[in-house]
Amino acid sequence: ARLAEEARLAEEARLAEEARLAEEARLAEEARLAEEARIQAELEAGESAKQAYWDGQDLPGDEAKIVPDLPADALPIPESGKGKSKLLIMFGTIVVLGASAAAYLLL
């Protein structure tokens, strides 16, 4: 009888220890989930703060552009001006080089 009582007490102690360990595991899991939720909330708050910051910035391209209305019969600008400016630069360069060569030879 005494051995049966000791076995019953040992079994109760083992079951109590298992219950305590299960409760500790449950509490640890709850703490882990709470910490994970806190970190996620901080990340979301940081993201929304960053978005609010950028939404509040006046970026150069944000203002409305004022574009004058063109007449319906307006023609596009001819692109012959590009060749004319290159020709003028080349002519000016030749004149300067010629003048400097003449000055070198004469002086």
pLDDT digits (tens, 9 = 90+) for 54-81: 888 766 665 666 767 766 666 666 665 5
Q: Is residue 41 part of a domain?
A: yes
Q: How far is CA 19 from CA 14, 28, 51, 63, 65, in A?
A: 9, 14, 48, 67, 72
Q: Is residue 38 part of a domain?
A: yes
For tokens 């004319």, what's the residue? 84
Q: Is residue 68 part of a domain?
A: no
Q: Over the chain, what is the mean pLDDT?
A: 86
Per-residue confidence band for 16, with pLDDT thresholds at 50, 70 and 90: very high
Instruction: Give the total number of structural domains in the chain.
Output: 1
Q: Is residue 32 part of a domain?
A: yes
d(CA 20, CA 13): 10
Per-residue confidence band for 86, with pLDDT thresholds at 50, 70 and 90: confident
Q: Write out the residue range of the structural domain in which residue 29 sits.
A: 2-58+82-106
d(CA 100, CA 96): 6
Per-residue confidence band for 85, with pLDDT thresholds at 50, 70 and 90: confident
d(CA 25, CA 18): 10
Quick one: which of 8, 16, 35 has its CA closest to 24? 16
Q: Is residue 37 part of a domain?
A: yes
Which pLDDT value is given to residue 76? 66
Q: Is residue 51 part of a domain?
A: yes
Chain segment 36-49, per-residue pLDDT in tens: 999 999 999 999 99
Q: Is residue 16 part of a domain?
A: yes
Q: Is residue 74 part of a domain?
A: no
